[in-house]
Amino acid sequence: MVLFVGLIPFAHRDREAFQEFDVKAWFDTGAKRVMVLDHAERASEIVAEALFAAMSGRPGPVVVGLPEDVIRQQIPAELHPPIPVATGGMTIVDSAALADALAASSKPLFVTGGNDWTQGGADQLTSWLEKHQIPAAAEWRTEGTVPFSSPSYAGPIGYGRPRPTYDLLEETDLLIFVGTVPGDVITDGFLCRQDWNKKNFLVTIDPSLRGRSGPVSYQIVAKPDVFVRDLAKIELPVKDEWKTWTARMRAEQESFSALPPAVQSAGPARMDTLMANLVPTLPDDAMVTLGAGEHTNWAHRYFPTQRYASMISARNGSMGYSVPSAIAASLEYPGRRIVTIAGDGEFLMNGQELATAAQYGATPLVIVMDNQEYGTIRTHQERHYPGKVSGTQLKNPDFALMAQAFGGYGIKVERDADIPAAIEAALKAIDEDHVFALIHLVVEQRVKAY
Ligand SMILES: Cc1ncc(C[n+]2csc(CCOP(=O)(O)OP(=O)(O)O)c2C)c(N)n1
Ligand SMILES: [Mg+2]
């Protein structure tokens, strides 16, 4: 992402002028690079540099400040050529080291992650893994690189993962990270996989390996697609131990992700029932977007992420991302089913962006799980200070009415038995009336996906 920010005129600088701020100080810790266009004739060069900085190495956001007086100047329209981005790759030595490590391993495990894949690369990795009967897990909130339905897919390993995958991360005798590094989330705060005798191969274009935790046995400097292209040339005889190990991991994932019964109970609405009725309607290219909160766990567990990328979220756990990201995804991919699962607290932060959906014709399905609380924070309160609930209870508006007021379809569901009809009506509004749809699901407090 490249963000262009308007700044006060040059001549007003450092005088506390109206709307003056220091763009470098403001964005320094959140952006990969911050630049200011102080000379109009360098405009094209700075834009080329900004795009290069955003895409080279580990992709990330770049900010360019544009002083008001500079952007009004006339300059010759000569364009700077694009700056090519290096992709790295496997050397013969790297390939041999990886092939040897795989041949010596009985329980290898790949982990995919990062935001620098293509569908072609994801497909190529999946066929290689399936051919060799080797498993791959998905790093925190990057599900979909290896498809949900692949016999090699071993499930997500972020926060809230099932216990068996945590244990498997310790148990594997060769961990191969592609597109990312093992950070604090998957190591549970630098606790898991810390033994320096363990074998970890890290495949990333960022030689600094920032954010990693645990041992590094071997580093391959390559973007994921380029690595996978070379990996495809490694042919190894399939070991029986690999088959058993993959089957075991896959069985854990299948039991974890098996849908709850679709039948409705007589009682209040439940997310389990919603997922059991929604998931079978989803096409292969469906995408889910998420903010932060306990409601996201139903997506981590059940949403069939079949493509790269079919799960979009803020990996730093920022609330308020669900609705805006679903609108952006819907505008970018008008033919795809875009679902967002929002919390009530989460929705109240950016739900008004439904106005943008109405304005530009975005058609996401918005599920708001209304548990009348900041459930995640209450869980922390109950864990550390049992019974002392403070500041985490919510009094909510009628979100379905809000959706209608913004120009979309909205339905409030309080009884479990009403869920299937609500899903059907919401999808019909999206597909036939071409509007966004919102299901306001009022659930009991303290419900959990696992
Ligand atoms: C912008 C922002 N503010 C605060 C937090 C801390 N936080 C994490 S989850 C959460 C509560 C989320 O509530 P809700 O959206 O209702 O989800 P629930 O856990 O109830 O499903 C809070 C306050 C955050 N992650 N991001
Ligand atoms: Mg909530």
Domain boundary among 236, 255, 274: 255
Looking at the DSSP bridge assignments, the partners of residue 443 are 269
Name the domain count of the chain.
Answer: 3
Which atom of ligand 1 lies closest to the CA of 394?
16
Cα–Cα distance measured from residue 360 to residue 327, given in angstroms and rounded to the nearest whole number: 9
Report if residue 87 sits inside a domain. Answer: no
Longest dimension (CA), the chain: 72
- Are both 242 and 304 inside the same structural domain? no
For residue 166, being part of any structural domain is answered with yes
Condensed to tens digits (0 to 9), the pLDDT of residues 385-397 reads 999 999 999 999 9
CB of 374 closer than 6 A to ligand 1?
A: yes
CB 409, CB 436: distance < 8 Å = yes
Together in a domain, 426 and 278: yes
Q: Note the pLDDT tens digit of each residue in 269-288.
A: 999 999 999 999 999 999 99
pLDDT in tens, 77-87: 899 999 999 99
387 with 420, same domain?
A: yes
Which domain-ending residue is among 212, 227, 255? 255
What does the pLDDT look like over 335-355, one tens digit per residue? 999 999 999 999 999 999 999
What pLDDT does 283 receive?
Answer: 98
Question: What range does the domain containing 379 cover?
Answer: 259-442
Residue 263 in this model has a pLDDT that exceeds 90: no
Looking at 223, 255, 287, the residue that finishes a domain is: 255
- Ligand 1 site, residue 293, Cβ cutoff 6 A: yes
Using the predicted structure, report yes or no on whether residue 248 has a pLDDT greater than 90. yes
Instruction: Say whether both 140 and 217 belong to one domain.
Output: yes
Residues 378 and 272 in one domain: yes
Question: What's the gap in Å between 135 CA and the centre of ligand 1?
Answer: 33
Where do we find the tokens 């869920």? 419
pLDDT band with cut points at 50, 70 and 90 for residue 188? confident
DSSP label at residue 269: B
Has residue 82 been placed in a domain?
no
Instruction: Judge if 52 and 104 occupy the same domain.
Output: no
397 and 326 Cβ atoms separated by less than 8 Å: no
pTM of the model: 0.95
Q: CATH number of the domain at 312, please.
A: 3.40.50.970
Rounded distance, CA 417 to CA 247, Å? 37
- Domain assignment of residue 225, yes or no: yes
Q: Is residue 78 part of a domain?
A: no
pLDDT band at 43 (very low <50, low <70, confident <90, very high): very high
Q: What pLDDT score was predicted for residue 249?
A: 93
- Residue 72 pLDDT level (bands cut at 50, 70, 90): very high
Q: Is the CB of 370 under 6 A from ligand 1?
A: no
- pLDDT tops 90 at residue 8: yes
* Residues 246 and 395 placed together within one structural domain of the fold: no
Q: What angle do CA 259, 243, 304 make, to 5 degrees?
A: 25
Cα–ligand 2 centroid distance for 7 (angstroms): 38
CA nearest to 370, candidates 339, 310, 411, 426: 411
> What tokens appear for 389 in the block?
């609930």
Consecutive H or E run containing 362: none
Q: What average pLDDT is seen over the chain?
A: 95
302 and 170 within one domain: no
**Pair (118, 238) in one structural domain:** yes
Helices (H), 177-291: 224-231, 240-257, 271-278
Q: What is the pLDDT of residue 165?
A: 73
The secondary element (H helix, E strand) that includes residue 311 is strand 311-313
What does the buried/exposed string (b/e) look like for 125-162 if buried means 16 or more CB atoms within 10 Å of the residue's CB? bbebbbebbbbbbbbbbbbbbbbbebebbbbbbbeebb
Whether residue 202 sits in one domain with residue 308? no
Q: Is 345 in the pocket of ligand 1 (CB under 6 A)?
A: yes
* Residue 450 covered by a domain: no
Atom of ligand 1 nearest to the CA of 346: 15
- 233 and 265 belong to one structural domain: no
The two tokens of residue 232 are 């495809």
- Across 396-403, average pLDDT: 98
Helix axes of 119-132 and 224-231: crossing angle, nearest 10 degrees: 40
Q: In the structure, what pLDDT confidence band is assigned to residue 315 with cuts at 50, 70 and 90? A: confident
Task: Kindly report, residue by residue over 130-187, the tens digit of the pLDDT.
Answer: 999 999 999 999 999 999 999 999 999 988 777 777 788 899 999 999 999 999 998 9
pLDDT of amino acid 164: 72
Which protein residue's CA is at the shortest distance from atom 25 of ligand 1?
Answer: 318
| pLDDT at 60 > cutoff 80 | yes
For residues 148 and 257, give the distance between their C-alpha atoms in angstroms, rounded to a whole number.
9
Cα 263 from chain centroid (whole Å): 30
